[in-house]
C-alpha cells in the first residue's frame, strides 16, 4: 500500500509499486487532467508536481511518491477559481485541443516558482520539452509571461 498526498488529500493505492503513477492517477484515482501522451517520457503531457518538482508520471513508478506530495492541474486552483497561471492560459486562449495544457501549466508553474520574472527566452527554454501539436506555443508563452507580470 502506497500512501501520498494528492492535491491536498491523503490517498492510498494498492497498485504494484512499479505501476506508472499516471496509471494510478487515471485508472484508480480518476484524476483526468494529467494526460497520457507518448508513454516514453518524451512529450511532457503527463507532468505532475512531486514535492514542487515536475516529474513525468508516465514513467515514474508509484513507489517514487510514497509519503510525498503530488499536485496535478486540478490541485493548482486558487480555491474554486483557476490559479493566476491557469487564468492567464484562459485569457490568452493558450489551449487549442488542450491535450498538452496540463503538462505545459505544470512546467510553467515550476519555472515561475524558480524564476517569478522569466524572459521570453527563458519561458521558451523551460517549455522546450513540452510538445504541442496544435501550434499554440506563442500563446502559451504569452500566457506564462502574463502570469509572471500579474504576480
Question: Residue 142: in which H helix or E strand, if any?
Answer: helix 137-149
- Residue 1's alpha-carbon distances to 15, 23, 59, in angstroms, are 7, 15, 19
> How many residues would you count in the chain?
151
Lowest mean pLDDT among 33-37, 109-113, 139-143: 33-37
- What is 84-149's CATH topology? DNA polymerase; domain 1 (1.10.150)
Q: How many angstroms separate the CA atoms of 28 and 45, rounded?
A: 19
| pLDDT above 90 for 135 | no
Stretch 116-121: mean pLDDT: 98
Q: What angle do CA 88, 60, 86 make, to 5 degrees?
A: 5
Q: pTM of the prediction?
A: 0.94
| pLDDT above 90 for 44 | yes
Query: What does the pLDDT read at residue 134?
Result: 86
Sketch the domain layout of the chain as residue ranges.
2-72, 84-149
Query: What does the pLDDT read at residue 151?
Result: 82
| pLDDT above 90 for 51 | yes
2-72 homologous superfamily: Beta-grasp domain (3.10.20.30)
Query: What does the pLDDT read at residue 76?
Result: 94
| pLDDT above 90 for 21 | yes
Residue 29, C-beta contacts closer than 8 angstroms, at least 6 positions apart: 6, 11, 13
Query: What does the pLDDT read at residue 126?
Result: 97
Quick: pLDDT tens for 56-102: 999 999 999 999 999 999 999 988 999 999 999 999 999 888 889 99
Please state, rounded to an integer, the average pLDDT across all residues of the chain.
Answer: 96
Query: What does the pLDDT read at residue 133?
Result: 87
Amino acid at each position: 500500500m502506497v500512501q501520498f498526498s494528492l492535491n491536498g488529500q491523503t490517498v492510498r493505492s494498492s497498485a504494484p509499486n512499479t505501476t506508472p503513477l499516471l496509471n494510478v492517477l487515471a485508472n484508480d484515482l480518476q484524476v483526468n487532467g494529467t494526460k497520457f501522451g507518448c508513454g516514453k517520457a518524451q512529450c511532457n503531457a503527463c507532468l505532475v508536481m512531486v514535492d514542487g518538482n515536475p516529474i513525468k508520471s508516465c514513467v515514474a513508478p508509484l513507489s517514487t511518491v510514497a509519503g510525498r506530495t503530488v499536485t496535478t492541474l486540478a490541485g493548482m486552483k486558487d480555491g474554486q477559481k483557476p490559479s493566476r497561471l491557469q487564468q492567464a492560459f484562459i485569457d490568452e486562449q493558450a489551449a487549442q485541443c488542450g491535450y498538452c495544457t496540463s503538462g505545459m501549466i505544470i512546467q510553467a508553474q515550476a519555472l515561475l516558482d524558480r524564476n517569478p520574472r522569466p524572459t521570453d527566452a527563458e519561458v521558451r527554454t523551460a517549455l522546450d520539452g513540452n510538445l504541442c501539436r496544435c501550434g499554440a506555443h506563442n500563446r502559451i508563452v504569452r500566457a506564462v509571461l502574463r502570469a509572471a507580470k500579474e504576480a
